[in-house]
Amino acid sequence: MEFEGINFKDQSLISVLNQIHAKYNYIPEEMMFDLSDRLKISLSKIYGVITFYTGFKLEKPGKHIIRVCTGTACYVNHSEVILEIMRDEFGIEEGKTTEDGKLSVDRVACIGACALAPVMELDGQMVGKLTKKKVMRVLREVFEDD
């Protein structure tokens, strides 16, 4: 892992972590040690910042990333069923990545697409008006395409 392309000049810890996360989609553990040395900030402070903000991940995500909205509009339209399908039908727990590294699933408070509730984001694309059948079809396509 390299810091190539990361701007350290006059940057706060959060700004540097954002750059690293944007580059790798997570904060690699070995980079925390190097960052601690480079910025002269304790490893515990860096870890504390990373674990405080839910936008930072410490584990490498899967090739495909699903974010399931559980905001009010999605919740009342049964978004929890989406997470149950992920777990029961595909063996994917929220906040985890499949063993083959193909898929990661996260719960988010709100995606901001309430008119499509219940909704999930798959690799940055919104998939809305979800039903069990539609979720199953979308996930099967993800697994078949790889």
Across the chain, which distance is largest between two alpha carbons, in Å? Answer: 52
CB 6 within 8 A of CB 20: yes
Written as six digits, the tokens of 17 are 């972590």
One pLDDT digit (tens) per residue for the chain, 146 residues: 667 777 666 678 999 999 999 988 899 999 999 889 888 899 999 999 999 988 899 999 999 999 999 999 999 999 999 999 989 988 889 989 988 888 999 999 999 999 999 999 999 999 999 999 999 999 888 877 76
What is the pTM assigned to this prediction?
A: 0.77
